[in-house]
Structure 1
Amino acid sequence: MNVLLSYVILIVIIYILAILFRDRLKIDIYGPILMRRTQKMRGWIDFIAKLSPRFWRWSMNIGIPIAILGMIFMVYTIIMSLVYMIQSYMVQTSSAPAASLLLPGVDIPGSPVFIPIVSGIIALVLLMVVHEFGHGILARAEGVKIKSIGVILAAILPGAFVELDEKDVEKAKKSVRLRIYAAGSIFNIALAGIAFTVVLILSSSFLPYAFQPNGLTITSVTPNGPAEGVLKEGMIVTNINGFQVKNKTDYTDLILNKTKPGDKLTYVTDQGTYTITSTGQPHNASITYPGTRSETHLVVKPEVSTKYGEILPWFLYYLSDVGYWVFALNLVVALFNLLPFKPLDGGIIFEELLGYKLSKEWVDRIVSSVTMVMISIVAFLIIYSIVPGIIQMVA
């Protein structure tokens, strides 16, 4: 079954159960928004915050300028993405930067990113927990009470939240509020840094020593793509159109330099020989598009298998894979969350910064205007990049 359809069915089931058992499950329903509040976990946040309140405050004193730099970088990135998109449309190159849905296991045609379902779910759960714990830890370190902790489902978007005491927040100094608001993204960036270090150590030491390439593994087949119904996830490819494929580098060179859209591609795999007719990539029609995603097929070296067995090498490999997605998703979401529009943390930080010099009336006007502009740009980029691929999936 299509993974995107599976997500839709799962969400429908969750909504039905939430409506039927809202009292027993203590779920609050606000239109398309489901919220489940709890008093649990506050003790853990208090414990961590009280380990060293001074450390948390000073770390966020460094975190605030980092958050501001992240905000500036993301505004520049979003604007330049819009410019490139318009330029590519004007000259019909179809090469504008493409956005992507952060839904593990969903392969949208033309999307630059495919997130493995298991590693992606682990990374997203860690992302949400660390982000909200960041807000909670700084709040408690600053003496702001936490009313509740919970999870939220807004239409199709899952999330988590820490509900702070509004009166404590209003009474707090601007610098205190800035530290609290910046904490979520800074904690995500810190986790990304830790994950990157783990991946760097593993990928530069044990993994090259333990594994050797042995072909190409098809990791997913894009719905309604050229390979659907012919090639299958998990197939190991060793030859395409007479060219030996030892790893992903060989495959990329073949696709970019030795084929063109419309060519027939004959795959020699561990499950037989199959032929497909390629098309052009959805976002660049001049590049061959077989409708698959793939990675180098690795096997444990015989000498490593003899010494360590198979379990340890593969455990470290999958740990590295999870670490990569923890790094990538935490960094990307943390930076996106710093965009200066509400209700993102970046919008609230932007509002607090303007409040140092401007009246509330002017702050509200500027924040509202910037929010409308930024949301429009982001929505336009998402629609331009993702909707055609989704239409192709369901067509």
Structure 2
Amino acid sequence: MDWVTILILLLGIYILAAAYVKATGKFADHIGFYGPIMMIKTENVGVFDWFRPYSRVLRAYGTVGVVMVIISAVLMTLMLVFAFNVTLVTQPEPTGIYKPQNILLLPGINEYVPSTLAVWFAFFLTLVIHEAGHGILCRIEDIKVKSAGLLYAVIPIGAFVEPDEEDAERVRGWPKARMLGAGITNNIVIGGICFVLFILVVGMATPLSSPAVYGVYEGGPAYDAGLPTPSVITEVNGVPVATRDEVTAALDTTSPGDRLSLTVEKDGVLTDRTLNLTAWPEAITAQVGPRSSGYMGIYYYDAASVQGMVGQMFSPIGWLRFVTIPFDMSVGGQQLKVLAFETPAAAYYEEPFPFFWGIVHFLFWSAWININVGIFNAIPMVPLDGGYILKEGVDRVLEPRGWGRYGQAIVTFVSWVLLSMMLGLIALPYLLHI
């Protein structure tokens, strides 16, 4: 069953359920509607009180979280300024990551975030973790929680915790900042834990050494011969091969201008292709040194190399590689897609246990979405959590000096500047190419 069919079924179930609730008035205390959005809530929120015995530890956790939010807010602001400047200078076309829908992290709408079970579970986990942080810190700081729940529009699109307004207004300074920053802190911490687990689980797979052709270079011999990809080379000039080293050894006996016969397997079907070998391109020999053998114009899927790159993701460069996996279209980036998407490359690993790749994908997207949602919410712009933390900080600095009336104006100005830059990132690629 494809995702379109599933979405139609979910839409039908949602419409029937909404019509039944509205027509009968049942569950009115727990279900409400805002246009097409269904709000399912409960006032039974005693679960947040379970954490009150650990108040000292959780206050320390919240304080560290506020510092983390402030650092994230500064970095995100600098990143926004940098991205806005780069957009003005490079004037990119309104394609790829510059399309408006790709600014959002919504699965199936963002072209780089697939609508799979792993992604939706990760997305839902992110929402719940974020709001749970607010609810727990509310009770730690003696703020009543009136209700909590989920927002549905066919699928879960949000979660919420509703604090008592009078209590929330009464709390000031660090207690309020801890409550406001708890959702961001939870997202970043849980995202970090999932990131570590992701790296550990990927390392459990055994990479296979089969000569897996993952792609061909345009204009090369394999491209001209129509070599199917992805596929696995099984014979070279009629001689069976089982590893990339055996293919390389056979290729080393050739020269530019020779003809090479390859047998490859794709989806259980064997195909024969004859390649007219050429000299190695200068762009490649400049990196790997001169080659006297013939050139096929293929690139392998290197499972061991992928695991090596995953093992290096604790470094700054490795972290950048992790963040860019969904939209990295380079050769290396295409090989890493197996970590986040359902691709044929999964066949080039020996799985250590059932549902291995489903767990890998869930951990990847749980880390990726949690961390991105966390640092995005840290942007010091109302109505994001970072904006309310900025307001609380500005008020605490200005009010003792008698300048409290300027606080709202400062926060509004900062919010509009940052919002303008965010909208500019969306609009400039279109405006600059009218």
Partner residue, 1:378:
422
Q: Unaligned 5+ residue runs, structure 2?
A: 216-227, 245-263, 272-326
Counterparts of 2:372 and 2:330, CA distance in 1? 29
Counterparts of 1:284 and 1:176, CA distance in 2? 41
Are positions 1:298 and 2:344 aligned together? no
Counterparts of 1:379 and 1:155, CA distance in 2? 28
Correspondent of 1:344 among 370, 373, 384: 384
Are positions 1:118 and 2:117 aligned together? yes
C-alpha contact 1:94 1:284 (8 A) present in aligned 2: no
Q: Return closer, same or farther for 1:385/1:164 CA change in 2, 3 Å cut-off.
A: farther
Counterparts of 1:73 and 1:183, CA distance in 2? 19
Letter in 1 for 2:386: G
C-alpha contact 2:191 2:366 (8 A) present in aligned 1: yes
Partner residue, 2:52:
50
- Count matched residues: 319
Q: How far is the alpha carbon of 1:50 from its aligned partner? A: 2.0
Letter in 1 for 2:267: D
Q: Which whole-Å deviations, capped at 9, do the CAs of 1:329-370 have from their partners, x for residues lacking one? A: 100010001111121111111111111223443222222222
Report the secondary structure of 1:119's partner residue: helix
Q: How far is the alpha carbon of 1:295 from its aligned partner? A: 5.6
Report the secondary structure of 1:114's partner residue: coil
Partner residue, 2:34:
30
Partner residue, 2:267:
270
Report the secondary structure of 1:355's partner residue: helix
Partner residue, 2:247:
none
Report the secondary structure of 1:356's partner residue: helix
Q: Which whole-Å deviations, capped at 9, do the CAs of 1:307-327 have from their partners, x for residues lacking one? A: xxx7x5233443222111111
Q: Unaligned 5+ residue runs, structure 1?
A: 219-234, 248-266, 274-282, 302-309, 387-395
Letter in 2 for 1:132: E
Q: How far is the alpha carbon of 1:131 from its aligned partner? A: 0.8
Provide the identity percentage: 27
Report the secondary structure of 1:158's partner residue: strand
Equivalences for residues 103-252 of structure 1 within 5 A: 103-105=106-108, 108=111, 113-115=112-114, 117-153=116-152, 158-204=157-203, 206-207=204-205, 209=206, 215=212, 237-238=230-231
C-alpha contact 1:213 1:296 (8 A) present in aligned 2: no
Report the secondary structure of 1:341's partner residue: coil
Q: Return closer, same or farther for 1:368/1:95 CA change in 2, 3 Å cut-off.
A: same
Q: How far is the alpha carbon of 1:199 from its aligned partner? A: 1.6
Q: TM-score scaled to structure 1, two decimals?
A: 0.67
Are positions 1:327 and 2:367 aligned together? yes
Counterparts of 2:105 and 2:213, CA distance in 1? 25
C-alpha contact 2:212 2:348 (8 A) present in aligned 1: no
C-alpha contact 2:69 2:185 (8 A) present in aligned 1: yes
C-alpha contact 2:150 2:156 (8 A) present in aligned 1: no
C-alpha contact 2:210 2:232 (8 A) present in aligned 1: no
Report the secondary structure of 1:296's partner residue: helix
Q: Return closer, same or farther for 1:14/1:154 CA change in 2, 3 Å cut-off.
A: closer
Counterparts of 1:284 and 1:327, CA distance in 2? 17
Letter in 1 for 2:417: V
C-alpha contact 2:214 2:231 (8 A) present in aligned 1: no
> Which stretch shows the higher mean deviation, 345-354 or 358-367?
358-367
Q: Return closer, same or farther for 1:333/1:96 CA change in 2, 3 Å cut-off.
A: closer
Counterparts of 1:11 and 1:382, CA distance in 2? 30
Cα RMSD of the aligned pairs, angstroms, is 4.2
Q: Return closer, same or farther for 1:297/1:210 CA change in 2, 3 Å cut-off.
A: closer
Partner residue, 2:79:
77
Name the structure where strand makes up a greater proportion of residues: 1
Q: How far is the alpha carbon of 1:62 from its aligned partner? A: 1.2
C-alpha contact 2:230 2:344 (8 A) present in aligned 1: no
Counterparts of 2:330 and 2:360, CA distance in 1? 34
Partner residue, 2:18:
18
Letter in 1 for 2:346: H
Letter in 2 for 1:378: M
> Which stretch shows the higher mean deviation, 209-218 or 25-34?
209-218
Q: How far is the alpha carbon of 1:148 from its aligned partner? A: 0.1
Greater CA radius of gyration, 1 or 2? Answer: 2
C-alpha contact 1:104 1:118 (8 A) present in aligned 2: no
Correspondent of 1:363 among 401, 407, 415: 407
C-alpha contact 2:104 2:110 (8 A) present in aligned 1: no
C-alpha contact 2:211 2:232 (8 A) present in aligned 1: no
Partner residue, 1:224:
none
C-alpha contact 2:32 2:40 (8 A) present in aligned 1: yes
Partner residue, 1:353:
393
Counterparts of 1:215 and 1:18, CA distance in 2? 50
